[in-house]
């Protein structure tokens, strides 16, 4: 075992203990009732880097949730590496469905279960572990940027990047917020889908009417909304919104049995869309209906509903302009409303897709680090989800290398029930990041 590997083993217990403490803070950025928890988590993260001996730690204000920034200057002439993660988390969903309480970290069979264990407080703990290996004196310059509103689309990010240009400048960016190919096999993400979403309200009546008296004569808004939402896809399940870009997928096999295991697709339910699994997940747009507001079943009456609302999200492939996609989505919804129903569209989150090229000496230093830590080469993958900061870093720093790494695996159930982190892979990821910092110093 090398000295660096031994030192990673040495710091892992304290890094996991730090992760436990962060997890116990329910920093749900989408729920105002948890604003105090978000602030408390930002303070806790700040304290971790302050205790590591950062020359400066401060909260960056972009008008939204606080972002933590810390600086660890390196030897003169060495590159600067910015380590990114986020401390905010998704809501828990049905708390009764969790095997153990969502904010009480619990270890079972080599995995750590809790909301945020994988996405992305595990990423925060990863950076803490790597810096602790070097006793807070890394062989390169290191800046740490821990965001507090990634789970709500990073609305303050453009302001943060403009306002703190110098603090966020770097030669290499490490974004620890993607997913590994599988347990024991790391990935480096080279493409990410973007997102455009909206709220669409369909109205057909000035007020509710007796369904027995006027049903069959005038349309109710919920039926009209359902028919409108059905136009988002063709019969095969391909997105039917005109003007969206489709990309070219790499020749990478995603086994069907693995897909079934990871998704829990029910027996008899077919997949949607045309093309390979990789193409559909990473290089074709995807449209989803995330929520519908209407009368709950428990309160239903024989009334024709006058108005109903839904949230629609579209994932965008590299090469797609998100503003153009948002416009295409709005035009589709207005154009396809049945029976002359009135449609109101309110634009929501809009994030750019990204593509990353892993070329040059620094990229090779990263590949070598992951090969040594995991014992296998990292798989270059796409990501069906969105990480808005990746495109922002790449666009604003064209000469920098952006590395999108992970502590999660396909079984981590990010955003879902029983989210978890494989502790063995966490240890390997910590070693990989430590080796990366060391390799970049050379």
Question: What are the catalytic residues?
Answer: 88, 150
Cα–Cα distance measured from residue 395 to residue 354, given in angstroms and rounded to the nearest whole number? 9
Q: Got the DSSP string for 251-300?
A: S----HHHHHHHHTPPTTPPP-SSS-HHHHHHSS-EEEEEEEES--GGG-
> Helix, strand or coil for residue 6?
helix
Question: Quick one: DSSP state of residue 377?
Answer: P
> Helix, strand or coil for residue 40?
helix
| Cα–Cα distance list, 296 to 208, 300, 305, 307, 310 (Å) | 15, 6, 11, 13, 14
Short-list 316, 282, 286, CA closest to 388: 316
Specify whether the CB–CB gap between 383 and 178 falls below 8 A.
Answer: yes
Specify whether the CB–CB gap between 182 and 257 falls below 8 A.
Answer: no
Phi and psi torsions of 82, nearest 5°: -105, 125
Beta pairing, strands 354-355 & 187-192: antiparallel
* Cβ contacts of 266 within 8 Å, gap of 6 or more: none
Is residue 408 within a helix (H) or strand (E), and if so which, with residue range? Answer: none
| Cα–Cα distance list, 160 to 38, 72, 147 (Å) | 18, 20, 10
**Beta strand spans in 104-212 (E):** 106-108, 111-113, 141-147, 172-176, 187-192, 194-203, 209-210
Is residue 157 within a helix (H) or strand (E), and if so which, with residue range? Answer: helix 157-163
- Find how far residue 162's CA is from the centre of its chain: 22
Short-list 405, 404, 395, CA closest to 158: 395
The upper half-sphere exposure of residue 284, i.e. CA atoms within 13 Å in the direction of its Cβ, equals 18
* Cβ contacts of 437 within 8 Å, gap of 6 or more: 81, 130, 134, 138, 139, 140, 142
Question: Which two structure tokens, joined as six digits, stand for 214?
Answer: 């006027």
């Amino acid at each position: 075992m090398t000295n660096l590997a031994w030192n990673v083993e040495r710091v892992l217990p304290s890094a996991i203990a730090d992760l436990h403490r962060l997890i116990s803070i329910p920093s749900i950025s989408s729920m105002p009732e948890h604003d105090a928890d978000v602030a408390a988590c930002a303070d806790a993260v700040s304290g971790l880097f302050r205790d590591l001996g950062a020359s400066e730690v401060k909260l960056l204000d972009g008008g939204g949730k606080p972002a933590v920034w810390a600086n660890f200057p390196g030897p003169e002439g060495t590159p600067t590496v910015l380590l990114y993660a986020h401390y905010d988390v998704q809501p828990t969903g049905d708390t009764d469905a969790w095997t153990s309480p969502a904010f009480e970290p619990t270890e079972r069979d080599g995995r750590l279960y809790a909301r945020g264990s994988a996405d992305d407080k595990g990423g925060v703990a990863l950076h803490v572990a790597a810096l602790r290996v070097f006793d807070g004196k890394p062989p390169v310059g290191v800046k740490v940027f821990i965001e507090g509103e990634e789970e709500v689309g990073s609305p303050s990010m453009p302001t943060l990047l403009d306002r703190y240009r110098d603090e966020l400048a770097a030669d290499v960016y490490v974004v620890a917020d993607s997913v590994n190919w599988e347990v024991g096999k790391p990935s480096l993400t080279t493409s990410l889908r973007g997102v455009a979403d909206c709220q669409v309200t369909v109205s057909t009546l000035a007020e509710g009417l007796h369904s027995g008296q006027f049903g069959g004569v005038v349309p109710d808004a919920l039926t009209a909304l359902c028919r409108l939402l059905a136009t988002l896809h063709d019969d095969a399940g391909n997105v039917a919104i005109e003007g969206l870009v489709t990309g070219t997928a790499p020749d990478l096999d995603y086994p069907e049995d693995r897909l079934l295991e990871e998704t829990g697709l029910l027996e008899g339910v077919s997949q949607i869309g045309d093309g390979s699994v990789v193409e559909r997940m990473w290089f074709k747009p995807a449209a989803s209906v995330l929520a519908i507001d209407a009368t709950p079943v428990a309160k239903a009456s024989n009334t024709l509903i006058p108005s109903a609302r839904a949230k629609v999200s579209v994932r965008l492939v590299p090469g797609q302009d998100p503003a153009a996609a948002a416009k295409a989505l709005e035009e589709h919804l207005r154009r396809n409303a049945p029976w002359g129903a009135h449609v109101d569209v309110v634009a929501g989150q809009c994030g750019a897709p990204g593509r990353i090229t892993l070329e040059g000496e620094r990229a090779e230093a990263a590949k070598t680090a992951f090969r040594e830590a995991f014992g296998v080469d990292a798989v270059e993958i796409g990501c069906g989800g969105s990480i808005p900061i990746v495109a922002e870093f790449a666009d604003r720093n064209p000469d920098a290398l952006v590395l999108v790494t992970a502590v999660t695996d396909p079984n981590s159930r990010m955003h879902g029930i029983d989210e978890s982190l494989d502790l063995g892979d966490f240890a390997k990821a910590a070693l990989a990041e430590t080796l990366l910092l060391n390799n970049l110093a050379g």
